[in-house]
């Protein structure tokens, strides 16, 4: 399978309602499995952001700067996966999941992956 960056950019992604962590999509049946699709984002913390997040750690609770950074990375990884799925001809993704790996100090890879499929409405 081609790497997502080598694919021509589709005009749209697989709709959010057609992506699931389950291995079936209620009301639909899988008619073709197109393989694994993925979206990868690599993020680093900025010095300024790390400084202010460090101050937040002194007071406890949610560290909003890092929470927002993590949410943005997950959203971008998801969107890239959905674009990859559309590029290979899928109209749905099943078994979607996330993974994150620290690849360097302050640098994290966020991966969203799943199985691209073509589904039809169940009779």
Q: How many residues are present in the chain?
A: 123
Are the C-beta atoms of residues 30 and 118 closer than 8 Å to each other?
Answer: yes
pLDDT of residue 2: 46
Question: What percentage of the chain reaches a pLDDT higher than 90?
Answer: 58
Query: 38 — phi, psi (to 5°)?
Result: -150, 160
Q: Report domain extents, the chain.
A: 4-121
Tell me what the pLDDT averaged over the chain comes to.
Answer: 83
CATH fold label, 4-121? Translation Initiation Factor IF3 (3.30.110)
Instruction: State pLDDT tens for residues 68-85.
Output: 888 999 999 999 999 999
pTM score, whole prediction: 0.77
């Amino acid at each position: 399978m081609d790497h997502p960056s080598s694919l021509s950019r589709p005009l749209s992604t697989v709709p959010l309602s057609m992506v699931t962590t389950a291995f079936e999509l209620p009301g639909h049946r899988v008619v073709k499995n197109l393989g694994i699709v993925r979206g990868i984002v690599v993020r680093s913390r900025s010095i300024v952001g790390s400084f202010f997040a460090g101050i937040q750690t002194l007071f406890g609770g949610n560290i909003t700067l890092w929470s927002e950074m993590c949410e943005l990375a997950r959203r971008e990884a998801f969107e890239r996966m959905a674009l990859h799925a559309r590029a290979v001809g899928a109209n749905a993704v099943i078994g979607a999941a996330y993974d994150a790996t620290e690849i360097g100090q302050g640098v994290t890879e966020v991966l969203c992956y799943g199985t691209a499929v073509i589904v039809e409405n169940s009779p």
